[in-house]
């Protein structure tokens, strides 16, 4: 999509932002409490995009979302006649569409979030997981905390969190990023631990594990300086062996009936697709966890994209544009 007919001066991002602000306004003023929806994508479509609009055509905007809200309920709420959105006198009609894939094009810049820890996950991924799979006051674990995204979200959402990493730099940054005030009594505790050995944590003590491991050595977090850093491992089988140890620890510390979520991506070697995510997932199953969800997460803003775009054209392969967000459960025995 290049332009919206009648709104040629607006960039797509601007139209998306106007739509988002309007929906935020509706949420605040029109009691959307019962509607469980997370916006994944906002996309103008219809006659104003195809170039066949008339003078009085509305602008149709598709709202792709995940969550339990029914499409018809959301449709009625978003198109409430009392608060119709108009952009330059063009009426906007929203068409909600429920999807299974998650996509968070916005990096998230509230609280102390910054996205300069390479390969950090979107605050919205952490937020969605926390809201969906835990309750206020519960204890979460992210044992590969990186830049601190999960800890910031846990604090905002009134969950307690134990966070750890092998990299002291990650722990320092996380501690610093937690220096903001909230009106709840949640606590945050950080430790320098290897995820393969969480022996300081008791069995059955954690309400939700959520973490984002390295994807083999695609991003080397400590440039080979820390021996325990799993991002030093190039060999996929050896990486999976180590991730199985991590999975065993997650299984041990998790309370029965509770969830463990990990985000994993795939890679290519010698032009061939390597299903790293599925191979790691298999090790989690081996450790005793059961797979509740395999959520496909669309990938944005990947630093390596430029390099791979050239490569993919040279060698005729497709770019990897998704990751897997696996949600496991520890079943009651």
Ligand X SMILES: C[S@@+](CC[C@H](N)C(=O)[O-])C[C@H]1O[C@@H](n2cnc3c(N)ncnc32)[C@H](O)[C@@H]1O
Exactly one of 64, 124, 229, 266 binds ligand X (CB under 6 A); that residue is 229
Query: What is the footprint of ligand X within residues 263-302 (CB under 6 A)?
Result: none
Task: Provide the 8-state DSSP code for 232.
Answer: G
Which residue from 154, 148, 139 is spatially nearest to 112, judged by alpha carbons?
Answer: 148
d(CA 85, CA 63): 14
Q: Are 208 and 133 in contact (CB under 8 A)?
A: yes
The reply on whether position 231 binds ligand X by CB under 6 A is yes
CB of residue 221 vs ligand X: minimum separation in angstroms?
Answer: 4
The reply on whether position 108 binds ligand X by CB under 6 A is no
CB of residue 162 vs ligand X: minimum separation in angstroms?
Answer: 12
Count of positions (residues) in the chain: 333
Q: Judged by CB, which is closer to ligand X: 7, or 226?
A: 226
CB of residue 180 vs ligand X: minimum separation in angstroms?
Answer: 17
- Residue range at the interface with ligand X (CB under 6 A); choices 208-216, 251-259, 267-275, 321-329: 208-216
Count other C-beta atoms under 10 Å from residue 68's C-beta. 10
What are φ and ψ of residue 157, in 5° steps? -95, 15
Exactly one of 149, 160, 177, 188 binds ligand X (CB under 6 A); that residue is 149
d(CA 42, CA 64): 6
Site string for ligand X, 169-198 (x = CB under 6 A): -x-----------------------xxx--
Count other C-beta atoms under 10 Å from residue 234's C-beta. 12
Site string for ligand X, 110-139 (x = CB under 6 A): -------x-xxx------------------
d(CA 1, CA 41): 14
Exactly one of 221, 251, 259, 284 binds ligand X (CB under 6 A); that residue is 221
Exactly one of 93, 228, 282, 293 binds ligand X (CB under 6 A); that residue is 228
Q: Judged by CB, which is closer to ligand X: 104, or 117?
A: 117
Q: Are 58 and 94 in contact (CB under 8 A)?
A: no
Which residue from 165, 158, 242, 176 is spatially nearest to 211, judged by alpha carbons?
Answer: 165
SS3 content of the chain, % helix, strand, coil (to 5): 30, 25, 45
d(CA 250, CA 8): 52
CB of residue 194 vs ligand X: minimum separation in angstroms?
Answer: 4
Exactly one of 144, 198, 247, 327 binds ligand X (CB under 6 A); that residue is 144
Exactly one of 48, 127, 155, 212 binds ligand X (CB under 6 A); that residue is 212
Q: Which residues bind ligand X (CB under 6 A)?
A: 117, 119-121, 143-144, 146-147, 149, 165-167, 170, 194-196, 212-214, 221, 228-231
């Amino acid at each position: 999509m290049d332009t919206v007919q009648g709104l040629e001066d607006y960039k797509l991002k601007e139209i998306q932002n106007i739509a988002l602000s309007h929906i935020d306004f509706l949420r605040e003023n029109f009691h959307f409490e019962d509607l469980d929806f997370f916006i994944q994508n906002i996309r103008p479509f219809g006659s104003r995009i195809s170039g066949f609009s008339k003078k009085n055509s509305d602008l149709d905007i598709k709202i792709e979302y995940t969550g339990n809200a029914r499409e018809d309920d959301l449709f009625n709420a978003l198109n409430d006649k009392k608060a119709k959105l108009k952009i330059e006198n063009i009426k906007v009609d929203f068409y909600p569409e429920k999807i299974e894939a998650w996509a968070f094009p916005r990096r998230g810049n509230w609280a102390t979030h910054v996205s300069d820890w390479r390969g950090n996950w979107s605050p919205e991924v952490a937020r969605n997981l926390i809201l969906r799979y835990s309750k206020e006051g519960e204890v979460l674990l992210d044992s590969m905390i990186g830049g601190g995204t999960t800890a910031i979200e846990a604090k905002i959402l009134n969950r307690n969190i134990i966070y750890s990493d092998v990299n002291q730099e990650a722990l320092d940054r996380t501690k610093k990023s937690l220096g903001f005030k909230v009106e709840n009594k949640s606590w945050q505790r950080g430790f320098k631990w290897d995820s393969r050995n969480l022996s300081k944590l008791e069995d059955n003590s954690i309400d939700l594990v959520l973490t984002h491991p390295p994807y083999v050595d695609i991003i080397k977090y400590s440039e080979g300086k820390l021996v325990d850093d799993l991002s030093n491992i190039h060999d996929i089988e050896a990486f999976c062996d180590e991730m199985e140890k991590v999975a065993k620890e997650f299984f041990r510390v998790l309370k029965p009936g509770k969830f463990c979520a990990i985000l994993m991506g795939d890679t290519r070697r010698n032009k061939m697709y390597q299903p790293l995510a599925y191979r790691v997932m298999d090790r989690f199953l081996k450790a005793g966890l059961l797979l509740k969800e395999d959520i496909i997460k669309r990938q944005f803003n990947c630093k390596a994209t430029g390099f791979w775009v050239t490569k993919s054209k040279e060698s005729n392969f497709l770019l990897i544009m998704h990751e897997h967000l696996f949600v496991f459960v520890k079943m009651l025995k």
